[in-house]
Amino acid sequence: MGSMRYKAAAMQRVQDLVRRGYPRWVAGVVPREKIARLEAKFAARYATAADRNERRRRRRHGAGNAFLVVYLPPRQPYAVWWLLVDEAHPAQHYEALQDARQVRITMPNPYWCPEVWQADYELVRLDNIWTWRLVEARRDEWAKRIRDAVSRSDRETRNRLVRQAIYSMRKMPGFRGVRDDVRALIRDMKSDWSRIRRKGEALPAIPKRPPYVRRIKHE
Q: For 131-177, write each residue's pLDDT tens digit.
A: 999 999 999 999 999 999 999 988 889 889 998 998 899 889 999 99
Task: Give, as one character, the DSSP assignment of residue 200.
Answer: T
Tell me the mean pLDDT per 10 residues along the chain, length 219. Answer: 85 96 95 95 96 94 95 89 95 93 90 68 95 95 93 89 90 93 91 77 72 65
What's the CA angle centered on 28, arms 25 and 32, to 5 degrees?
135
- Strands in 106-108's sheet, in edge-to-edge order, are 106-108, 119-126, 129-134
Biggest alpha carbon distance in the chain?
71
Asked whether the beta carbons of 164 and 156 are under 8 A apart, the reply is no
Asked whether the beta carbons of 87 and 64 are under 8 A apart, the reply is yes
User: Which residues sit opposite 130 in a β-bridge?
Assistant: 125
The predicted pLDDT at position 195 comes to 82
The predicted pLDDT at position 111 comes to 64
pTM of whole model > 0.75?
A: yes
The predicted pLDDT at position 210 comes to 72
Task: Give, as one character, the DSSP assignment of residue 212.
Answer: P
Query: Rounded to whole angstroms, how far apart are CA atoms 20 and 12?
Result: 12
The predicted pLDDT at position 202 comes to 79
Backbone angles phi, psi at 197, to 5 degrees: -90, 165
Query: Rounded to whole angstroms, how far apart are CA atoms 108 and 126?
Result: 21
